[in-house]
Structure 1
Amino acid sequence: MNKKFLAVCLSMCLVLAIFIPQAGATPKPETFEKINKNEKTSTPEFVSGKLTKKSNKKPKDVLFSYLNEKKETFKFAESAESDFVVIDEFVDNLGFTHLRLKQEFNGIPVYGRTFTAHIDSSGVLTSFSGTVAPELDQKMKKKKKKVKQKKAFSTAEKDLISSFAEEPQYAIDPTTEEVIYVKNDKSNYAYHINFKFFYPELGDWNYFIDASTGDILDKFDQSFKVDAVGTGTGVLGDEKTLNIDRQGSTYYLQDNTRGDGIFTYDGENVHQNLLYYPIWLIQRYLPGTAVSDSDNIFNDGSAVDAHYYAGLVYDYFLEEFNRDSFDNQGSAIKSTVHFGQNWSNAGWLGEPLNQMIYGDGDSDTLPFSGAFDVIAHEITHAITDRTADLIYQDESGAINESMSDIFGALAEFWADLDPDWLMGEDVTLSSNGIRSMADPTLFNKPDHYDDYLHTTADYGGVHTNSSIINKAAYLLSEGGNHSGVSVNGIGKDKMGDIFYRTLTQHLTASSTFSQLRSAAIQAASELYGSNSSEVTSVQQAFNAVGIN
Structure 2
Amino acid sequence: MTAPLQDLHYHVDEDPGLRPDARSAAPEDFPVAAADVAVTSGAGGAQDAPARAFTSDEAAARFYLDQLLQRDDRPAVRALLEPERPEYVPGLVAQGEQDLRPLRTRQVRFAQTHGDVPVFGARAVVELTDARELVSVTAQLEAVDGVDPVESLSRTEALQRLAAYVGADLPPEAATTGRLHYYKSDGYDGGGDAGGGSWHLVWLFTDVPAAPPGDADPGDPDARLGHGLGPRPVPARYAYLVDAHDGEILFSYSAVPTALPTPAKCAGTDEDDDRQTFLGQLVGPGGPACRLDDPLRSVRTYDLRFADIDSDPPLPPTPVESPTGDFGDTNRAAVSAHLNASRVQDFYKVVLQRDGIDDQGMALVSQVNVTAASMEQPPTLLNAFWYQRKMWYGQIRRNGRLVSLSRYLDVIAHELTHGVIESTSDLVYATQSGALNESFADCAGVIINNWYRAPDRHDVGTWDWEIGPGLRSDGRPLRDFSDPSRTGHPQHMDQFRRLRPGEQPGPANDNGWVHVNSNIHNKAVHNLLTVSGPTGRVFTVEDVAVLTYLGMARLAPLATFTQALQSVLDVARTYFGGHPDKQAKLAAVGDAYAAVGITLATSMPQLAQV
Bucket of the pairwise TM-score, normalised by the shorter protein: 0.7 to 0.9
Which amino acid is 2:481 matched to? M
Please give the alpha-carbon distance, in whole angstroms, between the structure 2 residues aligned to 1:409 and 1:305. 18
Structure 1 contact 479–490 (Cα < 8 Å) conserved: yes
Q: Which residue of 2 aligns with 1:345?
A: 383
Mapped partners of 2:249, 2:316: distance in 1 = 36
The residue correspondences of 1:248-263 to structure 2 (distance < 5 A) are 248=285, 249-259=287-297, 261-263=298-300
Matched, 1:56 2:53: yes
Aligned to 2:514: 462
> What are the residue-to-residue correspondences of 1:164-313 with 2, within 5 Å?
175-184=177-186, 185-195=197-207, 197=209, 201-224=234-257, 235-247=271-283, 248=285, 249-259=287-297, 261-275=298-312, 282=313, 285-287=314-316, 290-298=319-327, 299=329, 300-313=331-344
User: 2: distance between equivalents of 1:264 and 1:404?
Assistant: 22
Q: Please show how residues 73-88 of structure 1 align to structure 2 within 5 Å.
A: 73=74, 74-79=77-82, 80-88=88-96
Question: How many Å separate the matches in 2 of 1:296 and 1:49?
Answer: 53
Quote the Cα distance in structure 2 between the aligned partners of 1:20 and 1:333: 37
- In structure 2, do the counterparts of structure 1 residues 236 and 122 end up closer, same or farther at CA, with 3 Å as the change threshold? closer
Counterpart residue number, 1:518: 566
Q: String of CA shifts for 1:457-488, please: whole Å, max 9, x gaps.
A: 1111110111111111111111279xxxxx96
Q: Which amino acid aligns with 2:299?
A: I
1:385-404 paired onto structure 2 within 5 Å? 385-404=422-441
- The DSSP-based 3-state class of the residue aligned with 1:89 is strand
Q: 1:302 to 1:430 in 2, by over 3 A?
A: farther
CA drift at 1:121:
4.9
Call closer, same or farther: CA 1:436–1:160 in 2, change over 3 Å. same
Shift of residue 52, structure 1, vs aligned partner: 6.3
Question: Contact (CA 8 Å) 1:174, 1:194: kept in 2 or not?
Answer: no
**Is the aligned partner of 1:534 residue 2:534?**
no
Once the two structures are TM-superposed, the CA of residue 236 in structure 1 deviates from its matched residue by 3.9
1:117 to 113, 116, 126: 126
- Does the CA contact (< 8 Å) of 1:370 and 1:426 recur in 2? no
Identity, in percent, stands at 22
Give 2:17's aligned residue. 29
Contact 2:443 2:525 (8 Å CA) reproduced: yes
- Summarize the Cα distance change of 1:323–1:91 in structure 2 as closer, same or farther, 3 Å threshold: closer
Q: What are the Cα deviations for residues 414-444 of structure 1, in whole angstroms up to 9, with x where unaligned?
A: 1125751111116567423100111111011
Q: Tell me the CA shift for residue 161 of structure 1.
A: 4.9
Deviation per residue, 1:485-533 (Å, 9 max, x gap): xx964232211111122122x2111111111111111100100028433
Correspondence for 1:43: none
User: Which deviates the most, 441-450 or 418-427?
Assistant: 418-427
What residue is the counterpart of 2:391 in the other structure?
Answer: 356
Q: Quick check: 172-181 or 110-119, which moved more?
A: 172-181
- Provide Cα deviations, 1:236-277, integer angstroms capped at 9, x if missing partner: 431111212232341444233434x211111111123314xx
Residue among 485, 493, 517 paired with 1:441: 485
1:147 alignment counterpart: 153
Match of 1:494 in 2: 543
2:526 paired with 1:508: no
Which amino acid in the other structure matches residue 563 of structure 2?
Q
- Amino acid paired to 1:238: D
The question of whether the paired residues in 2 share the 8 Å contact of 1:267 and 1:337 is answered with: yes
Extract unaligned runs of 5+ from structure 1: 1-9, 33-47, 226-233, 276-281, 482-486
| 1:358 maps to amino acid | Y
Task: Quickly say closer, same or farther: Cα 1:72–1:108, change in 2 above 3 A.
Answer: farther
The alignment partner of 1:82 has SS state of: coil
| Aligned CA distance change for structure 1 residues 433 and 14 (closer, same or farther; 3 Å) | farther
Per the alignment, residue 472 of structure 1 pairs with: 524
More displaced 10-residue stretch of structure 1: 439-448 or 362-371? 362-371
Contact 1:243/1:253 (CA < 8 Å) preserved in 2? no
1:420 is aligned, of 461, 464, 468, to: 464
Q: Relative to structure 1, is the Cα distance of residues 106 and 59 closer, same or farther in structure 2, using a 3 angstrom cutoff?
A: same
> Aligned partner of 1:432: which letter?
R
Q: CA deviation at 1:322?
A: 1.3
Provide, for residues 168-199 of structure 1, a one-character-per-residue CA deviation record: whole Å limited to 9, x for no partner: 88999851111111222121111001235599
Aligned length: 487
Q: Deviations over 1:54-86 (max 9, x none)?
A: 453441342243144136432444435313222
CA offsets 1:292-313 (integer angstroms, 9 cap, x no match)? 2222222221111011101111
Match among 132, 136, 147 for residue 141 of structure 2: 132
Distance 1:338 1:168 in 2: 31
List gaps (5 residues or longer) in structure 2.
30-51, 83-87, 187-196, 211-231, 259-269, 372-377, 456-462, 500-504, 600-610
Contact 2:427–2:437 under 8 Å retained in 1: yes
Superposed CA RMSD: 3.5
Q: TM-score, normalised by structure 2?
A: 0.72
1:318–1:325 CA contact under 8 A, matched in 2? yes
Aligned-partner SS, 1:339? strand
**Distance in structure 1 (CA, Å) of the matches to 2:243 and 2:4:** 24
Q: 1-side partners of 2:546 and 2:573: how far apart?
A: 12
Q: Does the Cα contact within 8 Å between 1:449 and 1:547 map onto a contact in 2?
A: yes
1:347: Cα distance to partner?
Answer: 1.2
Give me the whole-angstrom Cα distance separating, in 2, the residues matched to 1:16 and 1:78: 14
2:70 alignment partner in structure 1? 69
Give the structure 1 partner of residue 45 of structure 2: none
> Which residue type is aligned with residue 56 of structure 1?
A
CA distance in 1, matches of 2:446, 2:469: 11
Q: 1:422 to 1:497 in 2, by over 3 A?
A: same
Aligned amino acid, residue 379 of structure 1: L
Q: Which amino acid aligns with 1:540?
A: D
CA drift at 1:366? 4.7
Secondary structure in structure 2 of the residue aligned to 1:327: coil
Alignment partners' CA distance in 2, 1:19 and 1:173: 42
1:319 matched to 2:350: yes
Indicate the SS of the match to 2:512. helix
Report the counterpart of residue 543 of structure 1 in structure 2: 594
Secondary structure of the structure 1 residue equivalent to 2:524: helix
Q: C-alpha distance in 2, partners of 1:200/1:501?
A: 31
Question: Is residue 246–residue 252 contact of structure 1 (8 Å, CA) maintained in 2?
Answer: yes
In structure 2, the CA distance between the partners of 1:478 and 1:380, relative to structure 1 (3 Å rule), is same
Structure showing greater Rg: 2
